[in-house]
């Protein structure tokens, strides 16, 4: 089995072979011993199970049905656990290199964003730290999901480095109903809509300007492989249950936190995510992104080249957002949302045409390639 790791830094202690210059990626290749022949079916999130639905991108096991709706998220205040002692939950917790401490109850509070390294950035807007002021005791801090550095997680949106005008337009789209989830069960989208409706224009601009200047945290690690670790769902996030590459990847991307979650999730902003993608996906995705064709020999384009709008390196152009190095789960949800009409804001029409002929495998290849690019 060959793993292709698209990353900006080489893994220490491994024999690495640079990729060919034709791929133009900030990448490297790791070769390991062949794996045993797969005998089990692909694990959770396999696209084949949902036909046209990229289940892996939504963190679900089945496609939605008529009448499905989201279960409201938990109340935003601190959560006390009855299965742990008071002393244990109040014990100060630390991450290496930080002078800040939080306890487990503080880290469970969606009204207070943890900021482990306040010295690395300027003043944080109150809405990121605490949430929109108009919601009072029912507010939710924007940074709890999107994090101080704006990198977010696979189940929500990376918001770092976005043009201020684009960010504010998305707030307006959430407010007006022009942006929602194609999966009505996705619980954080109604929450996001409520926050967008509650946040003031002044608060929204301060949030947009702060996150526009952030780097999004550690870059995503993209690995091409035919086998992946076993995973389970925690909410709408897939997490590893073991480190061994024991399951066939099938028709999916498996995006997980690099480390298996511990009992106390400290939300260390230096921890990164890993995206396992099928062999050959990055190269196929590059052809699709650059030419609009499924292969170099394909005569007819099925879509438009991404750089025409998103700029060289897909790092954005004017009000068009950067997409390079972003979560493939997030990217696939947005492409699927444009295709289904769940996203129909003022700038959505060109994207609806772009995605109209994309098939499930195209979403995998295209988002694998885009995710592998440096931000």
Contact call for residues 194 and 349 (beta carbons, < 8 A): no
**Which residues have C-beta within 8 Å of that of residue 42, sequence separation ≥ 6?**
48, 247, 248, 249, 250, 251, 252
Contact call for residues 199 and 132 (beta carbons, < 8 A): yes
Distance between CA atoms of residues 177 and 199, nearest Å: 15
Distance between CA atoms of residues 284 and 263, nearest Å: 39
Question: 50: closest CA among 38, 40, 60, 36?
Answer: 60
- pLDDT tens figures, 208-256: 999 999 999 999 999 999 999 999 999 999 999 999 999 999 999 999 9
> Where residue 260 falls among pLDDT bands split at 50, 70, 90?
confident
Distance between CA atoms of residues 21 and 51, nearest Å: 35
> Where residue 47 falls among pLDDT bands split at 50, 70, 90?
low
Sign of CA dihedral 161, 166, 168, 172: negative
Q: What angle do CA 146, 274, 114 make, to 5 degrees?
A: 30
Contact call for residues 366 and 324 (beta carbons, < 8 A): no
Range of weakest confidence among 49-58, 134-143, 339-348: 49-58
- pLDDT tens figures, 310-358: 999 999 999 999 999 999 999 999 999 999 999 999 889 899 989 999 9
Question: 204: closest CA among 162, 246, 247?
Answer: 162
Distance between CA atoms of residues 278 and 289, nearest Å: 17
Query: Looking at the predicted structure, is the pLDDT value of residue 49 above 60?
Result: no
**Which residues have C-beta within 8 Å of that of residue 334, sequence separation ≥ 6?**
343
> Where residue 74 falls among pLDDT bands split at 50, 70, 90?
confident
3-class DSSP assignment, residue 287 = helix
The CA radius of gyration of the chain, in Å to the nearest whole number, is 20
- Please compute the mean of the pLDDT values over residues 12-29 and round it to a whole number: 35
- pLDDT tens figures, 164-202: 999 999 999 999 999 999 999 999 999 999 999 999 999
Distance between CA atoms of residues 369 and 40, nearest Å: 27
Distance between CA atoms of residues 291 and 307, nearest Å: 10
Q: What is the pTM of this model?
A: 0.88
Contact call for residues 85 and 288 (beta carbons, < 8 A): no
Beta bridge partner(s), residue 179: 343
> Where residue 31 falls among pLDDT bands split at 50, 70, 90?
very low
- Of 10 and 293, more confident: 293
3-class DSSP assignment, residue 4 = strand
3-state secondary structure 185-215: CCCHHHHHHHHHHHCCHHHHHHHHHHHHCCC
3-class DSSP assignment, residue 262 = coil
- Please compute the mean of the pLDDT values over residues 27-50 and round it to a whole number: 49
Contact call for residues 31 and 2 (beta carbons, < 8 A): yes
Q: How far is CA 327 from CA 62, 157, 255, in A?
A: 21, 8, 8
Contact call for residues 237 and 187 (beta carbons, < 8 A): no
Contact call for residues 5 and 30 (beta carbons, < 8 A): yes
- pLDDT tens figures, 175-185: 999 999 999 99
What phi-psi label fits residue 314: left (phi over 0), alpha (psi between -120 and 50 degrees) or beta? left
Beta bridge partner(s), residue 247: 228
Domains and their CATH numbers in the chain = 35-65+223-260+274-372 (1.10.760.10), 86-212 (1.10.760.10)
Report DSSP state, residue 351.
H
pLDDT at 12: 34
């Amino acid at each position: 089995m060959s793993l292709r790791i698209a990353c900006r830094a080489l893994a220490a202690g491994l024999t690495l072979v640079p990729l060919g210059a034709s791929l133009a990626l900030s990448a490297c290749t790791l070769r390991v011993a062949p794996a045993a022949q797969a005998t089990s079916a692909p694990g959770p999130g396999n696209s084949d199970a949902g036909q046209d639905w990229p289940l892996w991108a939504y963190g679900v096991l089945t496609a939605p049905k008529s009448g499905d709706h989201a279960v409201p998220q938990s109340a935003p205040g601190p959560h006390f656990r009855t299965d742990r002692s008071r002393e244990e939950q109040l014990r100060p917790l630390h991450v290496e290199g930080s002078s800040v401490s939080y306890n487990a109850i503080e880290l469970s509070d969606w009204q207070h964003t943890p900021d482990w390294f306040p010295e690395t950035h300027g003043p944080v807007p109150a809405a990121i730290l605490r949430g929109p002021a108009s919601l009072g005791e029912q507010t939710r801090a924007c940074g709890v999901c999107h994090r101080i550095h704006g990198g977010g997680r696979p189940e929500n949106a990376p918001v770092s480095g976005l043009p201020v005008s684009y960010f504010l337009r998305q707030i307006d789209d959430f407010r007006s109903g022009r942006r929602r989830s194609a999966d009505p069960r996705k619980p954080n989208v109604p929450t996001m809509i409520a926050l967008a409706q509650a946040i003031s224009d002044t608060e929204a601009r301060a949030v947009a300007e702060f996150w526009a200047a952030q780097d999004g945290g550690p870059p995503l690690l993209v690995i091409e492989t035919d086998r992946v670790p076993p995973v389970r769902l925690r909410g709408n996030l897939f997490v590893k249950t073991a480190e061994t590459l024991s399951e066939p990847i099938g028709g999916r991307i498996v995006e997980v936190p690099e480390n298996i979650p511990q009992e106390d999730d400290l939300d260390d902003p230096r921890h990164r995510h890993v995206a396992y993608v099928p062999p050959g996906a990055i190269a196929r995705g590059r052809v699709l992104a650059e030419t609009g064709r499924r292969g170099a020999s394909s005569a007819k384009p099925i879509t438009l080249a991404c750089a025409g709008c998103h700029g060289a390196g897909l790092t954005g152009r004017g009000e068009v957002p950067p997409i390079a190095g972003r979560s493939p789960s997030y990217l696939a949800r947005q492409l699927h949302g444009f295709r289904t009409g769940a996203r129909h804001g003022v700038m959505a029409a060109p994207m609806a045409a772009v995605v109209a002929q994309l098939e499930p495998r195209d979403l995998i290849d295209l988002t694998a390639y885009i995710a592998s690019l440096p931000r």
